[in-house]
Amino acid sequence: MRQALELIAERGISSVLVMLEDSLPGIFTERDYARKIALKGRTSEGTLLSEVMTSHLPAPHGAGGPGHHG
């Protein structure tokens, strides 16, 4: 969790992709932090990234998603 938050702060970005080997299980955003940690009184130290990241991402075009023909 801390590594993701530090990356967001250092680079001035609003989200990071969460990678697990060659798969993309989710994305963690500032919005996830605000809604799922800060507003619920949780702490980043006691929370796993996998508990609050946005998962079930749609497949990109050309990867079996909408418009895939092959």
- Report if pTM > 0.75: yes
Cα 39 to Cα 31, 34, 35, 60: the distances in Å are 11, 6, 5, 31
Confidence check: pLDDT of 70 > 50: no
pLDDT digits (tens, 9 = 90+) for 28-68: 999 999 999 999 999 999 899 999 999 987 777 665 555 54
Q: Is 12 left (phi over 0), alpha (psi -120 to 50) or beta?
A: left
pLDDT digits (tens, 9 = 90+) for 1-30: 899 999 999 999 999 999 999 989 999 999
> What is the C-alpha separation between 4 and 59, in angstroms, rounded?
23
